[in-house]
Structures are given as C-alpha cells and as structure tokens.
C-alpha cells in the first residue's frame, strides 16, 4: 500500500505534500487530506478560482472520482468550518446562476460579478456534501466498529454533514451525534471510498493517521521510503539471482526443520490436552512407539490398540480431577462392541487418562475413585495408563532407550493402574 499525505508532513508515509504542491495522487492507494491546515493557513493563499501561482493546489473532483473508481481510498480530515476566506476573485462560481435576469441581462448586457473571497473547502468533492452548524451533541453512536478508537462514546463537534448529491456513491454513516445527525460519513463506489472525519484536539493528526492506517485499513504505519515501481524488476545486480536461490534453499530447509520440530513437540500435548486433541495425539504416540492403532468409531470408541496377544479397546479422556468410574463404564461398552467384532481374539480395555491436567506432571497426585479398580477387574481386567507416563515412554523411544517388547509387557501387569518399569524411571 502506497500512502500520500496532503496538507501535513508525516515521516511514516511514502510522500507528503503541502497545499502549494501538486502530485499525481492516483499513483497512491490511500490519500490523507488535512483540510484543517488549509483552513488555518487560508490567509496565505489566493482564491482557488483564480488559479494563480499562489492559489492552493486543490484536487479536481474528476481526478478524485477516477481515483475512487480504481479502488483508491481518501480520508478527509475536516476543517472546523468549511467556509473560509482566501484572496478576492471575480470568477463566477460554477454553481452561480441568474435566477431572475435583470433588464440589462435581457438587453444583452450582464454586469460584472462583485468580487468575493469565500471558498467552500468541500467544494472539490465529487459528491455534494455540506457541513452545517448545529448544537454539539456529545453522546456519539458509532456505526462502524473500526472507528470506535476515535469517537469513543463522547465526541463534540458543532457541525453535521448533509449529502445532497451522491453522484452514484453509496452512503455509509460512520458516526452520529446525540440528535441523530451525521457527523462522519463514508462514501463508497466500486472498491474505493471517501471518508469524512471531523477534527479533534484529543490526539495529534499524526496519531490520527497512524491509528486510521492500523485500525481501519490494517496497515502498519512503519513505511520507509517509496515502494519500488513495477519496472524495477527488470534490473538485477551481480550475484542477486544466486542470493535469491540461496534464500529459497534455506527457506525450504527451514520449513523442513519446522515440520520436524512440530512432529516431535506435538507429543507435549499429552500433558495438557483433552477431548479430540488428546485422542489424536495419544494415537500418534502409540504409533510412534510401534503399535498399530485403528478401528476408531467417531463419538464412541477412540480406537483399537493391537498388541501381540490382545486387542485393547481405547477410551481416551482428560480431566482436571482424578479417574472416574463413569469413564470405566464407557470403556466397558467399547469392549463389549469389540468382542462382537473380534470373536476369536483376546479383547480387553485400556483407559488412557490425562488426570489433573491443569497441574504440572511433577506435582500431580493421581486419585482413583472408589470401586474403579474392582469394577475394571470384574469386567475384564481392564487397565489404566496416564498420558504423562505415555509421554515418558515416547521420550525414551525417541532417545532409543525403550523397546516395544518391554513396553508391551506393561499392559499385562497385575495392577489396574499401570506403572512404568523401573528402568523407565527418570
């Protein structure tokens, strides 16, 4: 995004120009126009209608229309009063007409117009918008949330905006005062927009532009220098292409390393996750150890763990407390279903639990509800494995310090709550 500031010098935009300078603003994407500075310095300039060397360089409405049509955005920081005075002119206003011709006019003699010095600072807009004096309502309704930071809930401005000719633009209210009068408006056409924002002394103009870029346009205001034009790509310097190729190779290597890191660090989820995330990483951990895991039934059984002698129906769960009988009963249902599926196989159940998951694993005291162990043994000698212990097993496997056969023997311990073999202890 290329950004232009008109009427105010700003160090963080691509270009700043004063009211005595011209530029092709259609080369930019966003244009900020500070009419308040022209209002304050109007006495320095000749009248715009005189089009003299000392007249301010004000945009032409036809150029603004073309800019908006090409998806440009213009933010207009309004003056305190739209009518100001600049040197005398006798140029007839474009909106001037003789509604009742005089005798001299009928006779073919039209008198010269009287000199005047007033100028409407909104006169150059492609649509007709007037700022009219009104009582200042301090309670504000903001209709576009991206402007909440500017208007807040109280904003005083003794004007309201009235659009009498839209010129094909869509009108969108940004903010109204407590009397329901529009004080800020957005005029949209194609993909571009005109945004008319009333002034305030509560923040500097520089802060206003920065915040507008970030909150309204999503652009970070850290512009340094001009954006390179498209033709710059036709030029290259020695070793430029080789350096680009080297960057691409290193970026590819970096992507691969990030993927490798993710494939390892994902097992940390065993220590804190629950629900589907815990179920998924648990199955990946068992596969990393060397087991086959399949047979998931969504919403029911979390899978089947295949060992050399037994098929274990899986129920995986995370809890902020201990191990509950309710989950054991769920596991029993999955085992009964698996017995029907594998009538000629030895089938049992394995409850894998992440207990006290909000506590660091080193400080956890695993509690088991009464009757859990008796229920598990009675229903089929089912087993319980905690995910911190599974994490430790994966850690040892990645270090090459644990064999699958030794791990498998764990599942045939006499105790219901499985314990790591002594050689696995940290």
pLDDT in tens, 397-418: 999 999 999 999 999 999 999 9
Rounded percentage of the chain residues whose pLDDT exceeds 90 = 59
Q: In this predicted structure, which of 155-159, 264-268, 312-316 has the lowest mean pLDDT?
A: 155-159
Which fold does the domain 267-424 belong to in CATH?
Restriction Endonuclease (3.40.91)
- Name which residue leads in pLDDT, 335 or 298: 335
Task: Give the HSE-up count for residue 69: Cα atoms under 13 Å, Cβ half-sphere.
Answer: 9
**Where do the CATH 3.40.91.30 domains begin and end in the chain?**
267-424
Residue 164 confidence (pLDDT):
86
What is the per-residue burial (b if ≥16 Cβ within 10 Å, else e) of 21-53? eeeebeebbbbbbbbbbbbebbeebbbbbbeee
What pLDDT, on the 0 to 100 scale, is given for residue 155?
77
Report the distance separating Cα 196 and Cα 40, nearest Å: 18
Asked if pLDDT for residue 97 goes beyond 50, the answer is no
Q: Which contiguous run of DSSP H or E holds residue 390?
A: helix 387-398
What global pTM score does this model have? Answer: 0.50
At residue 95, the pLDDT reads 44
Instruction: Please report which confidence band the pLDDT of residue 114 belongs to, taking 50, 70 and 90 as the band edges.
Output: low
* Residues paired with 259 in a beta bridge: none
Residue 219: pLDDT band (50, 70, 90) is confident
User: What letter would DSSP give residue 424?
Assistant: G
pLDDT tier, 153 (very low <50, low <70, confident <90, very high otherwise): low
Architecture in CATH for domain 3-88+113-229: 3-Layer(aba) Sandwich (3.40)
Within the chain, all domains assigned CATH 3.40.50 are found at 3-88+113-229
Q: How far apart are CA 373 and CA 387, in angstroms?
A: 18
Q: Residues 75, 197: contact at Cβ < 8 Å? A: yes
Is residue 57's pLDDT more than 90?
yes
Q: What is the token pair recorded at 152?
A: 């807040």
Neighbour tally for 175: CB within 10 Å:
21
- Computed from CA positions of residues 224, 226, 227, 231, in that sequence, does the dihedral angle turn out positive or negative? negative
């Amino acid at each position: 995004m290329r950004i232009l500031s008109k009427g105010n010098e700003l160090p963080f935009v691509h270009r700043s120009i004063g009211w005595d300078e011209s530029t092709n603003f259609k080369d930019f994407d966003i244009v900020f126009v500070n009419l308040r500075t022209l209002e304050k310095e109007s006495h320095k300039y000749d009248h715009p209608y005189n089009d003299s060397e000392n007249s301010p360089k004000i945009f032409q409405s036809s150029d603004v229309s073309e800019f908006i049509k090409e998806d440009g955005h213009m933010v207009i920081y309004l003056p305190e009063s739209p009518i100001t005075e600049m040197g005398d002119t006798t140029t007839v206003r474009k909106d001037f007409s003789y509604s009742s011709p005089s005798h001299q006019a009928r006779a073919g003699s039209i008198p010269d117009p009287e000199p005047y010095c007033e100028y409407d600072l909104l006169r150059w807009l492609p649509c007709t918008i007037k700022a009219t004096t009104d009582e200042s309502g301090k309670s504000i309704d903001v209709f576009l949330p991206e402007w909440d930071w500017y208007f807040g809930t109280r904003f005083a401005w003794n004007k309201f905006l009235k659009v009498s000719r839209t010129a094909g633009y869509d009108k969108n209210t940004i903010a109204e005062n407590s009397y329901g009068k529009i004080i800020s408006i957005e005029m949209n056409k194609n993909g571009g927009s005109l945004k008319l924002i009333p002034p305030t002394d509560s923040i500097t103009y520089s802060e206003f532009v920065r915040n507008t870029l970030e909150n309204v346009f999503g652009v970070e205001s850290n512009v340094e220098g001009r954006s390179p034009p498209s033709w710059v790509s036709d030029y290259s310097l020695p070793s430029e292409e080789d350096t680009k190729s080297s960057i691409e190779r290193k970026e590819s290597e970096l992507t691969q390393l990030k993927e490798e890191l993710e494939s390892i660090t994902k097992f940390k989820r065993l220590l804190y996750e629950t629900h589907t995330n815990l179920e998924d990483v648990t199955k990946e951990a068992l596969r990393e150890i060397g087991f086959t895991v399949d047979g998931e039934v969504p919403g029911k059984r979390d899978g089947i763990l295949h060992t050399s002698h037994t098929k274990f129906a899986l129920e995986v769960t995370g809890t902020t407390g201990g191990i509950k009988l309710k989950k054991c009963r769920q596991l029993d249902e999955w085992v009964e279903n698996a017995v029907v599926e594998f009538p000629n196989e030895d089938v049992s159940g394995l409850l894998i639990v992440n207990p006290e998951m909000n506590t660091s694993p080193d400080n956890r005291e695993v509690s088991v509800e009464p009757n859990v162990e008796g229920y598990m043994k009675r229903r089929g000698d089912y087993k319980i494995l905690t995910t911190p212990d599974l994490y430790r097993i994966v850690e040892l496997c990645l270090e090459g310090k644990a064999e699958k056969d030794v791990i498998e023997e764990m599942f045939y311990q006499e105790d219901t709550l499985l314990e790591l073999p002594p050689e696995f202890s940290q």
